[in-house]
Amino acid sequence: MNAKRKPGRLIPQLLIAVLITMASGGSFAQEKKTEDSKSNTMEIAFLLFDNYETLDVFGPVEIFGRLTDLYTLKFYSLDGGLIENRHGVSVLTEKLDMASANPYMLLIPGGMGTRKEVDNESLIGQIKGIAGASSYVLTVCTGSALLARSGLLDGRQATSNKRAFSWVESMGPNVVWDKKARWKVDDNYYTSSGVSAGMDMALGFLADRHGIEFARNVAFEIEYNWIEDKDNDSFIAE
């Protein structure tokens, strides 16, 4: 004859079942929260082209990319696909015309590739359209030459790589070029000097949006000595 099952033995089994159900529900809630949080972040569109400058892109990527609750980073190029630079750094990109209709920010790096791309009418046209629809536009190094070619910097103050300053200046004769600044701000346009200055500008952008201590904390987290003075660059324009 089978012994009667004691009611007390059901309690651990029921408890385990309840815990599993709660855990599953909690996991789902966490996933949903993560998805919802991501959908509420602001898109930063990085424009890439062959022979872009590595640090121009990945310096700001390191800074903005740490703030996953605020920003979503995406990489675009004119035709999409793999984009490679002279350092052999390849990035898989989406087609530029797939960028959000109103990205929060467009970031344009520099590099030797800008010498060719300033004559790429299709690229310049798309830069003009996307930059005009973006809340903010940031350029690093000779990326300001591409933006200048679009005409959007005409009448605005801007700066660029000090060792390539004369060439960049020739790409935008109607721009008010500043030979002294580390980075320059004119309304929603931010332009920086060469390479590492893009990181200083990115932190400056965060300071403008979220306060100086917020930006200093990000710099501290990556152990970076942030040059906070945007108006004075230690490098001199040619």
Write the single-letter amino acid at 84. E
DSSP assignment of 2-52: PPPPPGGGHHHHHHHHHHHHHHHHHHHHHHHHHHHHHHTSEEEEEE--TT-
- Whole-model pTM: value is 0.84
Give the pLDDT score at 34: 41
**How confident is the model over 168-185, as a mean pLDDT?**
98
**How confident is the model over 10-34, as a mean pLDDT?**
39
Contact 96, 78 (CB under 8 A): yes
Domains and CATH numbers, the chain: 42-221 (3.40.50.880)
Residue 154, SS3? coil
The answer for residues whose C-beta is within 8 angstroms of residue 162's C-beta and 6 or more apart is 179, 193, 194, 233, 235, 236, 237, 238
DSSP state for residue 238 in the 8-state scheme? -
**How confident is the model over 105-109, as a mean pLDDT?**
98
CA distance 218 to 94: 28
Helices (H) and strands (E) in the chain, counts: 8, 10
- Extract the tokens encoding 133: 């629809």
At residue 84, does pLDDT exceed 80? yes
CA distance 187 to 9: 71
CA distance 212 to 210: 7
**How confident is the model over 201-211, as a mean pLDDT?**
98
* Mean model confidence pLDDT for the chain: 88
CA distance 17 to 91: 46
Per-residue pLDDT tens digits for 155-171:
999 999 999 999 999 99
Give the pLDDT score at 2: 46
- As to burial, measured by CB atoms within 10 angstroms (0-12 exposed, 13-18 middle, 19+ buried), residue 75 is middle
Give the pLDDT score at 100: 81
Residue 223, number of CB atoms within 10 A of its CB: 6
Per-residue pLDDT tens digits for 32-54:
334 444 568 999 999 999 999 99
- Extract the tokens encoding 159: 């700066």
Closest CA to 118 of 152, 83, 168, 164: 168
**How confident is the model over 174-198, as a mean pLDDT?**
98
At residue 131, does pLDDT exceed 60? yes
**How confident is the model over 176-203, as a mean pLDDT?**
98
At residue 143, does pLDDT exceed 60? yes
| Measured CA distances, 220 to 71, 142, 215, 217, 225 (Å) | 19, 27, 9, 5, 8
Q: Per-residue b/e over 32-51, b at no fewer than 16 CB within 10 Å?
A: eeeeeeeeeeebbbbbbbbb
- Extract the tokens encoding 88: 């052999």
At residue 92, does pLDDT exceed 50? yes
